[in-house]
Amino acid sequence: MSVRLIALDLDGTLFGDDLIISDRTRTAIAAAQSAGILVTIATGRMFRSAVHVARELAISGPLICYQGALIRHHPSGEVLLHKTVPLPDALEVIAATRRAKLHLNVYLDDELYVESATPEALYYSRINMDLPLNEVGELGTWLSKAGGEPTKLVIVTDPGRTDAVLAEYTSRFGADLQVTKSHPRFTELTNAQCSKGRALALVAAHHRVAQAEVMAIGDGLNDLDMLTWAGYGIAMGGSPEAVLSACRIVCPTVELDGAAEAIERYALGRTFG
């Protein structure tokens, strides 16, 4: 069966830390679109960050953001799905990270809020196209007054500490929230009913595309259920072993234009000598 929908992770898939999408990758995506294949983004990033990439690649349609907690159409802005973190859970995570002296990002109404502009906050801003930081002081007090429920919470740590934080917060909050690692420095918490895989299934149904006609390309543990759900689940070279072993197809690394090769080979039917 042919590919009719392609879902692309961003970090580690479309680009590396330099945030540059290669010419080959751009050309492959454009060729897929010209062939009538729908292309979308499936990322942990905010909608405002995903839109920046969508504009670059002339992608229109529902974008999967915040690890599947938000599906929002570009350019219309129509929201297909939005699941938030219940306020009591959010306040509990805020209190726990503050006691542990961990940096926390809080996302509300597609804005990023932090207690202060720590080195972790500045790093996150830099790799997200210099995303503005809203400094609000103690996050629990601010969020209680703001009265909203955040779309996502992200703990930013040094790479050597992330796995321990992931294990701890999965143990503490995993029964009530989705807890995942999206980046060597990021532990992310979202609504328990959210994931990239569930969101991709909804987008496919929205476009009347069968599961077997969906291709997904990713590199992280947060991509795992999306890759195993899609008819063509393709892991980037260099992905964690759990991701590599779950996928029948592994393409080259992002440095070797793996996503472009996957699109060329499996969606456009090109052969390589």
Q: What is the CATH number of the domain that holds 209?
A: 3.40.50.1000
pLDDT digits 0-9 by tens, 176-217: 999 999 999 999 999 999 999 999 999 999 999 999 999 999
Closest alpha carbon to 94 in 154, 12, 24, 13 = 154
User: For residues 213, 6, 193 and 148, what is the CA-based torsion angle, rounded to 10 degrees?
Assistant: -150
| CB distance 225 to 196 below 8 Å | yes
Report residue 270's pLDDT band, with 50, 70 and 90 as the boundaries.
confident
Q: Are residues 128 and 250 in the same domain?
A: no
Q: Could you tell me if 75 and 199 lie in one domain?
A: yes
Among residues 165, 6, 21, 166, which one has the least CA distance to residue 101? 165
pTM here? 0.95
pLDDT value for 233: 98
Last residue of a domain, one of 126, 156, 191: 191
Domain that residue 246 falls in? 5-82+194-267
Buried b (16+ CB within 10 A) or exposed e, 183-207: bebbbbbbbbebbbbbbbbbbbeee
Residue with tokens 């050597």: 160
Cross-strand pairs, 79: 72
Q: Using one digit for the tens of pLDDT, what is the confidence trace for 112-155?
A: 999 999 999 999 999 888 999 999 999 999 999 998 999 999 99
Q: Work out the pLDDT band at 257, boundaries 50, 70, 90.
A: very high
Q: Let me know whether 225 and 179 are in one domain.
A: no
What is the chain's mean pLDDT, rounded? 96
Task: Examine the fold and report which residue of 191, 215, 239 is the final residue of a domain before the chain moves on.
Answer: 191
Query: How many percent of the chain have pLDDT more than 90?
Result: 95
Query: What pLDDT does residue 273 have?
Result: 44
Q: Specify the pLDDT at position 50.
A: 95
Secondary structure (3-state) at 172: helix
Last residue of a domain, one of 176, 191, 206: 191
pLDDT of residue 17: 86
**Residue 1 banded pLDDT, cuts 50, 70, 90:** low
Residue 115 contacts residue 135 (beta carbons within 8 Å): yes
Looking up tokens 């690394």, which residue turns up? Answer: 253
